[in-house]
Amino acid sequence: MASLNTRIHDWSRQRVWLIGASSGIGAALAQDLLSAGAQVALSARRADRLETVAGDAAQALVAPFDILNKDGWRDRYADICARFGGVDLIIFCAADYHPERSWEVTSEGAAHTLAVNLGSVYTGLATVLPDMLARGSGGIAIVASVAGYLGLPNASVYGPSKAALINLAELLYADLHPRGLGVYLINPGFVQTELTAKNTFAMPALQTPQAAASAIRGGLSDGAFEIHFPRRFTLIIKLLRWLPYRLRFALMTHLVVPT
């Protein structure tokens, strides 16, 4: 079957800007891409953590900033272009998450999660897309989540933000693929990170950040549109979406069990 995106055969020719590279999946993916030879600009707020992730990799660029600062996007992009000459692939991996039921949500907390998970992606797109469209090449990778497949308990704001990213990735592909750009949708299951450490329920098929990074790079290399893992878990969640609501709701009440 033909790939929906151009396959990436040589990572040494890729200039990557990874947003959310200081911990979890982002940090593991940054190190994986650096080991594959890619030039990687690492961004997050915590410069010290970015330095640790970058290590002594000559092709790494530590570019810290606050993704909620719109001017910061412009400034960091200028720095990256000055060093790398441009960006071939931007990966949106930053996320905010608080396990909470719907009655526990506050307007301030919801606004912050939506700003980090969704609003910052739009700011980043506005930053990089003009140059990518002008040259007719480049790639956009959005890390959403299987939490965006269904309305799951405890993901009262996080889940809807990830559902919006899934929708965004689909419409971006329709808009940008005919113009020569690649779009990748990444939907991880449960991964051992600082965010999932907040959970007090059993997390089936829990993976390490390194396993997640390997799956993501493999999907990008293969030119996949949707990269979801681990499939023994994600395929079950996908199947639930096809059930009538009566059955789906009955099953969903048992998906999140406090421990």
158 is catalytic: yes
CA nearest neighbour of 116 among 86, 77, 79, 158: 158
Cis bond upstream, residue 230 (ω within 30): yes
Burial of 82 (0-12, 13-18, 19+ CB in 10 A): exposed
- Look-up of token digits 């790639």: 139
Helix (H) or strand (E) holding 15: strand 15-19
The rounded distance, in Å, linking the Cα atoms of 154 and 110 is: 13
Angle between helices 70-84 and 120-135 (to 10 degrees): 40
Residue type, 26: G
Instruction: Name every residue whose Cβ is closer than 8 Å to that of residue 33 and which is 6 or more positions away in sequence.
Output: 11, 14, 16, 18, 40, 217
CA nearest neighbour of 5 among 221, 187, 224, 171: 224
- The catalytic position among 77, 97, 149, 158 is 158
DSSP state of 201: B
Sheet holding 89-92, edge to edge: 60-62, 39-43, 15-19, 89-92, 139-143, 182-188, 226-229
What are the residue numbers of the active site?
158
